[in-house]
């Protein structure tokens, strides 16, 4: 027997009111992360330990700067919702869960802010 109201069925968002949004965003960023992180891994392997001027010169290239910005953004969105699931799976005390979910978002935004600021500063000011 279907207990759902006609309106609930039409909206198709389920009890969490998010529908497939989390799943879809997770897969969307996962697909984006494949080429982005391949670029990132080779970039790090190439420039880890490189002289400061070399790294700055590389990051000053508009193409490299934009790709790095996309790497950071896509990876952080992906990891934020991934950590959200880990917290929801293992932390059952309501207060601690909400606190950790908040911290999770703060962490992702802080790391994102630092990375994007650094990339833009290098790209614009060297």
Partner 1 sequence: MTNVTRSRPLSPHLQIYKPIPTMVMSIMHRITGGALYFGTILVAWWLIAAASGAAHYDWVSWLFGTLIGKIVLFGYTWVLVHHMLGGIRHFIWDLGYGYEKHFATKMAKATIIGSATLTLIIWIVGYLVR
Binding of partner 1 at residue 100 (CB under 8 A)? no
Based on CB atoms, which residue is closest to partner 1, 56 or 67?
Answer: 56
Stretch that binds partner 1, among 2-10, 12-20, 93-101, 110-118 (CB under 8 A): 110-118
Exactly one of 4, 21, 24, 41 binds partner 1 (CB under 8 A); which one?
A: 41
Does 103 bind partner 1 (CB under 8 A)? Our answer is no
Q: State which H helix or E strand residue 22 sits in.
A: helix 21-47
Residue with tokens 């992360």: 33
Question: Which residues fall within 8 angstroms of residue 74, CB to CB, at 6 or more apart?
Answer: 29, 32, 33, 36
């Amino acid at each position: 027997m279907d207990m759902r109201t006609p309106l609930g069925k039409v909206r198709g968002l389920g009890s969490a009111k998010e529908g497939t949004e989390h799943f879809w965003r997770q897969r969307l960023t996962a697909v984006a992360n494949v080429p982005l992180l391949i670029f990132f891994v080779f970039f790090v392997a190439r420039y880890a330990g490189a002289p400061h001027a070399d790294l700055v010169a590389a990051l000053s290239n508009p193409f490299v700067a934009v790709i790095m910005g996309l790497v950071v953004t896509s990876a952080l969105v992906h990891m934020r919702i991934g950590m959200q699931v880990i917290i929801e799976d293992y932390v059952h005390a309501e207060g601690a869960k909400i606190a950790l979910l908040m911290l999770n978002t703060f962490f992702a935004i802080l790391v994102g802010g630092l990375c994007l600021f650094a990339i833009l500063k290098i790209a614009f000011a060297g």
